[in-house]
Amino acid sequence: MTAPLRLGTRASALATAQSGQIAERVRELTGRAVELVEISTPGDRSHAPVAELGVGVFVSALRDALTAGDIDLAVHSFKDLPTAHPDGLVVAAIPLREDPRDALVTRDGRTLLDLPEGARIGTGAPRRVAQINALGRGFECVPIRGNVDTRINRVTGPSADLDAVVLARAGLSRLGRLGEIGETLDPMFMLPAPAQGALAVECRTADTTLVDELARLDDYQTRAVVTAERALLAALEAGCTAPIAALGEVAEDEDGSYELYLRGAVIQLDGRHAVRLSGTGTLPASTDPAEAAAAVGRALAATLREEGAESLLESVR
């Protein structure tokens, strides 16, 4: 009888929902018992905007607990992970991604087209603010923080003060709240954050048995697209709070190899200037797609730079 695996999670509803769903998958695939261990992070205790708290604020407490041996695995929202990876830990699985798109929560099923000029939209994420401003519809972006429930309450609660909030559709899906979406936003104008909707299942590199067991949760196509999106972000030397968007998609070729189509955008906060480009590459059929996918991301980052991404980023640094 082996000891149960300890899965560390933040206490928020979203974190416990996604950790619980992964715990269930680990039980199914490995036959091992899994228990959730709540870890409080400075990001949960602070009310400052995420852009001020800095990259990885939600992640380091979980990683410290992993390194210290207090927990055996952790589930992160992949888009919240810093691009640098710590020694001694490995992302052992990237499970099948949820729908990566952003969603607009409104009252009475209103869509973006139904919102009047001057409508107040809650989001503090520079990437979302920049793309809403780029619509040229005269919307006002209002910085907002807190968990999903708090954010939705600003629109539909008793003391609502906003017309809409932008949230990742994936988070709403994991919480069973898709019904509150007024419109899922088209990536043509609201390109998601790199790795949005994907999870990273992390453990200690030295736990080789667990590393192998968790590999059964891995999804090839998700790993490929997420690797490409994150390589683009890393090559632009920017974190998850920069106005950078990326979305990879994969199609299978007749010969069994895969074609990766990657879109990327850097948008100035006021939405007046943006660089939006795409790139493609072929991924090997059977081997690890990571290197080929990362190359597509780096190449697209280089093209974005040539077309002026650097000066757009400079304006927000």
Contact footprint for ligand PBG (CB under 6 A):
77, 79-80, 167-168, 170-171, 196-197
Name the minimum Å distance from CB 12 to ligand PBG: 9
Per-residue tokens: 1: 């009888």
Measured distance CA(52)–CA(41) in Å, rounded: 15
Q: How many CB atoms lie within 10 A of CB 35?
A: 12
Dihedral angle, C-alpha 200, 202, 208, 209, nearest 10 °? -80
> What is the torsional sign of CA 100, 126, 81, 261?
positive
Residue in 44, 70, 72, 80 annotated catalytic: 80
Q: Which is nearer to ligand PBG, 75 or 260 (CB)?
A: 75
Q: Which is nearer to ligand PBG, 184 or 280 (CB)?
A: 184
Cα 60 to the chain's mean position, in Å?
16
Measured distance CA(183)–CA(124) in Å, rounded: 19
Measured distance CA(255)–CA(265) in Å, rounded: 31
Name the minimum Å distance from CB 254 to ligand PBG: 33
207 is catalytic: no
Name the minimum Å distance from CB 132 to ligand PBG: 14
Are 89 and 205 within 8 A, CB to CB?
Answer: yes
Q: Which is nearer to ligand PBG, 56 or 281 (CB)?
A: 56
Q: Which is nearer to ligand PBG, 9 or 196 (CB)?
A: 196
Measured distance CA(271)–CA(149) in Å, rounded: 28
> What is the torsional sign of CA 209, 211, 217, 220?
negative
Name the minimum Å distance from CB 199 to ligand PBG: 7
Per-residue tokens: 153: 């309450």
Name the minimum Å distance from CB 206 to ligand PBG: 27
Q: How many CB atoms lie within 10 A of CB 1?
A: 4
Residues designated catalytic: 80
